[in-house]
Amino acid sequence: MSMATAGLEDEFRNYGIDVVEVTDPGDRIELTYMTAFPGFEIHHWEMGRALNALIDLEADGEWEPTRLDATVVRAPGDPMGTWYAKQAWFEGYANYRLSDEDLSEKVISTVEHVDEEP
């Protein structure tokens, strides 16, 4: 079951994610959001909120897991980095094959920061 892009954006916003853009081409969700913590590292708490938005939608039967590709920006045009969550990880979590810690560890391991060159 696919959710309309506007519905996804609303759900992310309900979880405190400042959505810049969200698209759902069918095989994944592409999320770009502006961080509330514009330092040099992607804030794990924000990552968790984005994941929880999708986990709760899936638990309510409103979303079928797909890959999530996230881009984090400090401001428009100022990328901070990227991270992702695989479809299989959402499915494993929903079926109790992955714990909170397992899912967090897998997703955090995908973080790539933009190099800060002077």
Instruction: Say if residue 117's pLDDT is above 60.
Output: no
Q: Phi/psi of residue 68, each to 5°?
A: -115, 120
Is the domain covering 5-113 a CATH 3.30.70 domain? yes
- Indicate the residue type of 92: G
HSE-CB at 76 with a 13 A cutoff on CA atoms is 2
Instruction: Say if residue 50's pLDDT is above 60.
Output: yes
Average pLDDT over residues 10-24: 95
Site of tokens 């695989």: 86
- Asked if residues 83 and 110 have their Cβ atoms less than 8 Å apart, the reply is yes
- Name the percent of the chain lying above pLDDT 70: 94
- Asked if residues 69 and 30 have their Cβ atoms less than 8 Å apart, the reply is yes
pLDDT tens figures, 51-100? 999 999 999 999 999 999 999 999 989 999 999 999 999 999 999 999 99
Average pLDDT over residues 32-57: 95
